[in-house]
Amino acid sequence: MNTNLYEYEQKNEDITDNFNREFFDVPSLRGILHLGRKTYVMGILNVTPDSFYDGERYNTRENAIDHALEMVEEGADIIDVGGESTRPGAYPVSEAEEIQRVIPVIKLLSKQIRKPISIDTYKAKVAEKAIDAGASIINDIGGLLMDRKMAKVAAETKAPVIIMHKKGTPRTMQKYPIRKNVLPEILSSLRKSVSIALDAGVEEEKIILDPGIGFGKTLQQNLVILKRLQDLKSMGFPILIGTSRKRFIGTILKLPVQESLYGTLATLAIAVMNGAHIVRVHDVREAVHVVTMCDAIRNSSC
């Protein structure tokens, strides 16, 4: 057989296998994430003074811990702790400031809950200190591209890493969104990030992908990502989606962010039915209801 033809057929076979794959067991530092059997709900814990939705409600350790415990009670499978707002137009904070915000919370929280804690950061030093403090997952909005030491930290700590696609920075991403076909650009960028991870020694089974809804995408591009989410399955990794109360939802519904819950829940249902394994949300109780129903429908058989 012609070598090029064999490689082409083998590649197509691999892609088909990826599309058909439903289940992923992702080893974390706090047990295995059995993704696909149920949709995991990741509760957002912003310990920042300028979150686009939470504002400064959880900017004290006591309020942050109380809210995290409440989300666990409501059914959160993962708590995602972040110390820097990545809303459109946000200014970056220093590494020292971010560490000061998140590490005390993670230390306290890790002693009170058994659920995995993820650290939402693109800074390698912050991620490293967070893992030392009790976090067990790295959630990198920079896709391992903003801090090239991040892949090494993920490999050395053996923590699963969520690799997100983002165009630009929070300051510029909505001024200069993707100009061409959105899915091919996302796939191309994520392949580059995955290569960086694997080259650094990150185990393939510990990689999770996030197409980065709202991060350098137009309203229409966000909708296309949700509609064609299964395209990401071609890469063979579990998928995380974060649409919670994002601007495009309020724009479509002509509502402020505080009234965009139902629109958010609609996007979650679409995402789950199209292949999402984890949803990242502000409103845990409502999200758990939605994904539980979607899982029941998706897993039903005649």
- Is 280 considered catalytic here? yes
Q: What contacts 7, CB < 8 A, 6 or more positions away?
A: none
Find the catalytic residue in 111, 280, 285, 298: 280
- Residue 201, Cα to own-chain centre: how many angstroms? 21
| Alpha-helical runs (H) found in 158-218 | 182-200
Burial code (b: 16+ CB inside 10 Å, e: under 16) for 148-177 equals eebbbbbbebebbbbbbbbbebbeebbeeb
Q: Do 118 and 106 touch, CB atoms closer than 8 A?
A: no
Of these residues, 152, 206, 233, 246, which one is catalytic?
246
Given the structure tokens 């990198």, which residue do they identify?
Answer: 140
Distance CA 279, CA 44 (A): 10
Tell me if residue 246 is catalytic: yes
Look-up of token digits 């050395």: 156
Counting Cα atoms < 13 Å in the Cβ hemisphere of 15 gives 10
Annotated active-site positions, please? 246, 280
